[in-house]
Structure 1
Amino acid sequence: MGKIQKLETLTALQIAAGEVIDRPAAVVREILENSIDAGASQIKIELFNGGVQKIILTDNGCGIAKEDLELSVERHATSKIQKITDLNDLTTLGFRGEALASIAAVARLCITSKPIEQEVAWQIKTDGLNRHQSSPSSGLEGTRIEVEDLFYLTPARRKFLKKANTEYTKVDAIIKKISLANLSFNLVFSNDNKIVRKIPLATSLKDAKDRIAAILGHDFSDQLYFGESELPEIRKIQAWIAHPKFSRARSDLQFIVLNNRVIKDPAISNAIKRAFEDVMMIGRYPALVLYLTIDPSIIDFNVHPTKEQVKFQDPQLITRAIVKFLKQHIQEILSIKSSIHESLMQETPSMDFQNIQSMSPTKVSRPQENISYNQLSPKPEESTHDMLGNTYQATSYKSPFVELSSPKPPLPQVSNNHHQKTQAVSLAILQNWLLHFLSVAAPKWNVDNVLQRKVVFDFLFSFLDQ
């Protein structure tokens, strides 16, 4: 074992930076959180070659004063807290004072900033330990940060980076998480000069459905229901919850937001699972975005540099409140679906069963769009008529429902009178349902494929041929 000696300044900085900055997504996380803390309402992020070549962030936040610009790239320099007790009332996303210093230790960094009270913008550039003095520059109100040649000073770290597309995917995931947790800004994200995501701001969480759709897609947002509650244990719980039928094989659409940060917590994930266990199959995961607002004095974010891990003073108190909240709103969601179903059933045409034996078959017409069977086969075999009197060209086409609609085994022998009544009632009910389907439901279908439409109608009309 060699003698103990003090590490060189740059080596120490690069080792420390490895805990904070491990890939382009970490750079984006740190500078995006700084923009949100600065009160920005317009943010633009540009990525080049997955972020390894260059990352540019531009915002319209409060900016950095020229006298603070050089200090901003030093370790443990921050405007968020002054002493350790300030963590008990923490309201900002950043507080460690390591982000910009860590980026400057492993990449070329350029910061241009202009507060509203400053006449011109000022700029500072760094290159490893070389800290150029800040100087006047052109620039609009807000801050522009450029990060180039990530890990050029640490080749060992750079060789562990993935392909550009993989790194872009990681950056996109970080942007989605932070944008879900913080609503008060518009964001434009581009990759190699191509805009890939536009996220609109939301004035409140209750009105954030369009923002969620821009982040996670309309298939998810269309299934969401909003719920909120104030409980003694927690200041506020809010959530966008998908219907239990919209379950997933993975927990990729399950997000936990605590005090404007997306976190990972096994205890809360298990509480969500317990809340849905009565309405969801084993092995399936619910889809939701859960927002928790908790007194900062009973939680600790100073666990890991990513701030995704947190310690609770009383985790059982939190999880019980979450289970209670989710169970209540799950029942509300299910009752909403049930009431919609009942209202639709009430709109179904009623059936008069008086004198059912003398009832003649109802004349049912197809939808206005005529289906030409010639479109399905160029070689018709013969001309025939269907049960409604429509002439068409029969083809060799075989419906995939033929086995379902094939004749059933004969029923047990009963009296002719009883058998006739049973057939008449069944035919009347089926005709009435089919009439309702063709007149109400079928015209609303958006089925453009002729073959798909033919399969469906062959299946329906085959019942009346029985």
Structure 2
Amino acid sequence: MRIHSLPTQLVNQIAAGEVVERPASVVKELVENCFDAGATQIQIDIEQGGARLIRIRDNGCGIINEDLGLALSRHATSKISSLKDLEQVASMGFRGEALPSISSVARLTLISRTENAECAWKVGADGTEKDFDPQPDPHPQGTTIEVRDLFYNTPARRKFLKSEKTEFSHIENLIKKMALSHFDIGFVLTHNQREIVNLKPASSPAEQEKRIAKICGSAFIENAVRIDFASSGLHLTGWVGLPTFSRSQPDMQFFYVNARLIKDRLVSHAVKQAYQDVLYHGRHPVFVLYLALDPKLVDVNAHPAKLEVRFREGRLVHDFLFSALHRSLAEQRPEPAQAEVLEVEAFAPPQAEAQTAVRSRTHDPRPPQQSNLPLSVEEEIKAYASLYPQTEPAIVEPAPVQSAHRQQIPPLGFAVAHIHSIYILSETPNGVILVDAHAAHERVTYERLKKQYHQGDVPTQPLLLPLKIQVSTAEADLAEQEQGFFASLGFEINRSGPETLVLRATPAILGKADMDSLVRDILADILTNGMSRRVEEKSNEILATMACHGSVRARRKLTIDEMNALLREMEQTERIGQCNHGRPTWVALSHADLDKFFMRGQ
């Protein structure tokens, strides 16, 4: 066959194949036009999941009568005029393909009125870009676009549409995502004449959080960290969920670049790296984030539906996002209660007084002091004991207060009991706190190990008697090859036979951990994942394994001093809200929570 030009309507239908996948695709293109028109209120009316009707009305600047035909023509736009404009696009739409593409597969009507016009003008289109005949209309300022009978002339594509409920759910989710990017705009969404979404403009931070709570749920805001981070011409704002508030699927991840919702592998990798130390395996973080940067630094013309972008300085953006999220998560620590002070006796803290009262009633001797905690915690115990020395009472009644001083209660309060030899119960001015002792100490140990490792100074402790460890030949080969790596971790390991290793020194912070099992676990990790990966990633995994082995074991009874020492360590440790595996380390119950349990005040 001879080469020939395609009919205009067919060209637009081909273009529609890339832009108009389903009713939600139409809604996206038209609502983005509302954004570009400067609208402050957008009404979206849907019937039969969008297959029968999509009507979108805004109160934006409108289109003058003479430009209505052009607006419905291919590659006609007011948003760019040169290649230079294309390289720094600041609007949502810019190709001029949406309206003609949509009109080629549906019955489209456009009504618009500008601010000073005597009336609005109405025009219909069928994708042929011909026979435009504008008619006057009483429409107020702004624009309304009606799209009826989607895919009526392409029945093969109409068959691919899902059920009415499914198609509308895509539209509803889309509107909610778009509403998160423009807090200054009100949105109303109806389906079959029933109002589904009604969001008023949100200008203040409190109103914005209310909108997010409506869309993402109140639990998201209650478990989110506010971010505002700027550097190198990049500005990141928004909310990220605490690692303990995660999802089984990545279905609550909203990332906007210059107010445009996008999905990008570079962004996903940066977020994943920021959460790698604190997220439970198989879980996904939640976030609503906004990245603002010079439009010249991002190419928004990389995807037909504009869902993906291309950063001109990808490494810079990646490192910036990682740093911002990593710091924000690391800075989440318990905060001290405001204007709360505690009367502290000179001879004993409140816990010691309680113990004295119990001993006076039961006549039991004081329980012996526990030991064998890792060195770092033992040091904290000594520091705590020097502040609150405990003396054995010589009489049954509690000793009178000799003197007292006022001290602000620490953020995590003071330990009261060790429940089931697992959980620390601590009293605070606002209620109580429960701490998983092993999980919390694991994070404390891990963060200290990381700091020592990256400073090149992991203190070692020689073993009084070298420990022989039986391993496989492959593991012995690996230990011999990676002797320097083990030394950087604080281990002195030598090979003494085909399947025998001799351990002569260990990291001092690990105390009396089971070194035989620990060395085996480290060798297994390296054999499984290899040493070819980035050293930093590998070292963090190894350090996490070491921290787990060196932390307080569950079922090991702790004394009051040991528990308080761990609480003080927690208050100074980054990312303390989660252990190395992403599990929560502590929870708080306020007075109000406790009152609800017992229906007090009801």
TM-score using structure 1 length: 0.75
Query: Could you give the per-residue CA deviations for residues 206-251 of structure 1, whole angstroms, max 9, x where no partner exists?
Result: 862112112222121222221112101x431112111111011111
Partner letter of residue 231 of structure 2? Answer: L
Contact 2:112 2:143 in 1 (8 A): yes
Alignment of 1:393-404 (within 5 A): none
Distance 2:179 2:137 in 1: 30
2:319 aligned with 1:320, yes or no? yes
Kindly report which structure 2 residues correspond to 1:133-148, keeping only aligned pairs within 5 A, or say none: 133-148=133-148
Q: C-alpha displacement at 1:128, in angstroms? A: 4.5
- The residue that corresponds to 2:75 in the other structure is 76
Change (3 A) 1:263 1:343: farther
Q: Residues 219 and 356 of structure 1: is their aligned pair in 2 closer, same or farther, counting only changes over 3 Å?
A: closer
Q: SS of 1:17's equivalent?
A: helix
Would the alpha carbon gap of residues 262 and 433 (structure 1) be closer, same or farther in structure 2, given more than 3 Å must change?
closer
Match of 2:162 in 1: 162
Mapped contact 1:231–1:321 kept (Cα < 8 A): yes
Inter-partner Cα distance in structure 2 for 1:305 and 1:144 = 24
Match of 1:11 in 2: 10
State the partner residue of 1:339. Answer: 335
Matched letter for residue 168 of structure 1: F
CA distance in 1, matches of 2:18, 2:426: 66
Q: Which residue in 1 is equivalent to 2:217?
A: 217
**1:337-384 deviations in whole A, cap 9, x for unaligned?**
x2268999979x945244543349xxxxxxxxxxxxxxxxxxxxxxxx
**Counterpart of 1:229 in 2: which secondary structure?**
strand
How far is the alpha carbon of 1:421 from its aligned partner? Answer: 11
Give the match for residue 299 of structure 1: 298
Q: How many Å separate the matches in 2 of 1:202 and 1:439?
A: 30
AA matched with 1:135: Q
Tell me the amino acid that sits aligned with residue 445 of structure 1: K
User: CA offset at residue 445 of structure 1?
Assistant: 1.8
Superimposed CA distance per residue, residues 435-456 of structure 1 (whole angstroms, 9 cap, x where no aligned partner): x8899566532688xxxxxxxx
SS, match of residue 3 in structure 2: coil
- Structure 2: state its 5+ residue gaps: 344-348, 370-395, 399-415, 420-424, 433-588
Matched with 2:149 is 149
Partner of 2:104, secondary structure, is helix
SS in structure 2 at match of 1:321: helix
1:260 is matched with 259
Letter in 1 for 2:89: L
Contact 2:12 2:127 (C-alpha < 8 Å) held by counterparts: no
Q: 1:446 to 1:305 in 2, by over 3 A?
A: farther
Q: 1:272 to 1:420 in 2, by over 3 A?
A: closer
Q: Is the 8 A contact 2:274 2:322 kept in 1?
A: yes
Distance 1:172 1:344 in 2: 47
Which amino acid in 1 is paired with 2:224? Answer: L
Give the distance between the partners of 2:366 and 2:225, measured in 1 at CA. Answer: 49
Aligned residues: 384
Partners of 2:205 and 2:296 lie apart in 1 by 24
User: Conserved in 1, the CA contact under 8 Å of 2:183 and 2:201?
Assistant: yes
Report the counterpart of residue 357 of structure 1 in structure 2.
Answer: 359
TM-aligned CA deviation for residue 76 of structure 1 = 0.6
Q: Map 1:133-282; keep pairs closer than 5 Å.
A: 133-203=133-203, 208-232=208-232, 234-282=233-281
Q: Which amino acid aligns with 1:48?
A: E
Structure 1's 64 and 445: CA in aligned 2 closer, same or farther, altered over 3 A?
A: same
Separation of aligned partners in 1, 2:105 and 2:114: 27
SS at match of 2:87: helix
User: What secondary structure, in the 3-state scheme, does the structure 2 residue paired with 1:45 have?
Assistant: strand
Checking the alignment, whether the CA contact within 8 Å between 1:239 and 1:289 is kept in structure 2 is: yes
Alpha-carbon distance between aligned partners in 1 of 2:200 and 2:63, rounded to the nearest angstrom: 25
Q: Look up the equivalent residue of 2:335 and give its one-letter code.
A: S
User: Which letter maps to 2:54?
Assistant: I
Does the CA-based 8 Å contact 1:183-1:204 persist in structure 2?
no
Identity of aligned residues (%): 38
- Pairwise CA distance, 1:197: 1.1
Q: Distance in 2 between matches of 1:285 and 1:177?
A: 18
- Return the alpha-carbon distance in structure 2 between the equivalents of residues 306 and 145 of structure 1: 20
The residue matched to 1:256 in structure 2 has which SS? strand
Q: Is the CA contact 1:49–1:164 (under 8 Å) kept in the aligned structure 2?
A: yes
CA gap 1:114/1:59 in 2 versus in 1, 3 angstroms: same
